[in-house]
Amino acid sequence: MSTTPFAHGLVIGKFYPPHSGHHFLIRSAADSCARVTVVVMAAGHESIPLAERVAWIREHWAGRPEVAVVGIVDDLPVDYDSAELWDGHVALMRQAVTAGPHDTDVDAVFSSEPYGTELARRFGAAPVLLDPARTTFAVSGTKVRADPVAHWDEIEPPVRAWFARRVVVLGAESTGTTTLSRDLATALRARGGAHALTRWVPEYGRELTVLKLARARALAAPDRPVPTVAELDWDDGDFETVAHRQNGIEQNAARTGGPVLVCDTDALATTVWQERYRGRTTASVHALAATMPPRALYLLTSHQDVPFDDDGLRDGEHLRPWMTDRFREVLTGSGVEWLEVSGDRQARLGRALAAVDRVLGEGWGLADPLG
């Protein structure tokens, strides 16, 4: 806008989680003020950490340097009839504003809540009440927490990545992991709505295998046999690269996908593959597996009922039973729900879909805010 009638605007909220209505408030403040402070106030028991909420809003407003986002823990109960509690909340708000880069004088408070007028009075500022009936943005943090899928288009990429239920398909060589993960993603997309955005995360290890084999063949002497995948050398750095790249590809997909993210392997599976090729797993690869976002479900593809198919990138038919057993052990120790699927292609898909629906039916189980 060409004019900014206010010097310093304030937006207060839990942002649990941030959604389009919150960004409408911040955008309105940024278009009306020379400077804006957004204060994120989170209670300690709430399910989404304060640091996450602050980071999400900062990312969204990174292109507007006049918008500063600060966070503070507020474990005081909410009672609009209590002068003492009002004083406590406002004191925390002032503390947060002081911690930000802008001056502490506030001349406008932007809110869509009924308490906005009283809050502005306590700051000696003008109350700017926007859409209190929620007719412009018919969304709230309560609605998003209760049913993220129904409000998927109201949340931004980093918030989607946090909410995405990550389903990982893993298994030994040529046991149908790629087939099942692709089939599962396709079936979810066919449901439409937010699920139409379902992403499938490919296996980076296969990409690296293709590259290593191509390099080996390019460097081979003309009078020597063409190198095969069984002759490739794998070192610990390769598996660290695989785990690191797999994590990055997954996170990028989660930001642009739907409520379920289907992954063809992950860094936990990489620990088993490193053990298969190197005889043990290194601390660096274990650490990369430990940093992954929470998994909702693992699907282990049995080596039974799937004949080994040597596509030129596989060499471990004799190790399939050992790898299946090892995956069972690792998954049992992971603390994450897992299911072993066997049978033909349709039977596997049916069991996988039923398991995913069960996970979705359980909801996200987010703690209620203090009331």
Q: Are 323 and 316 in contact (CB under 8 A)?
A: yes
Determine contact, residues 292/246, Cβ cutoff 8 Å: no
Q: What is the CATH number of domain 6-144?
A: 3.40.50.620
Closest by CA to 271, choosing from 283, 286, 284, is: 286
Asked if residues 276 and 173 have their Cβ atoms less than 8 Å apart, the reply is no
Per-residue model confidence (pLDDT) at position 71: 98
The whole-number pLDDT of residue 313 equals 62
Q: How far apart are CA 92 and CA 344, in angstroms?
A: 60
CA 216 vs CA 121, 221, 226, 229, 314: distances in Å: 73, 10, 9, 9, 16
Same fold, 6-144 and 164-361: yes
Residue 114: CB atoms within 10 A of its CB come to 10
Contact 299, 263 (CB under 8 A): no
What 3-state DSSP class applies to 310?
coil
Task: Note the Cα 2 to chain centre separation in Å.
Answer: 37
The domains of the chain are located at 6-144, 164-361
- Global pTM exceeds 0.85: yes
Query: Which one is the CATH code of 164-361: 3.40.50.300, 3.40.640.10, 1.10.3720.10, 3.30.2290.10?
Result: 3.40.50.300
Mean pLDDT by 10 residues, the chain (371 residues): 84 98 97 98 97 98 97 96 97 97 96 95 97 90 96 98 98 95 98 98 96 93 88 95 98 98 98 96 98 98 86 77 96 97 97 98 94 72
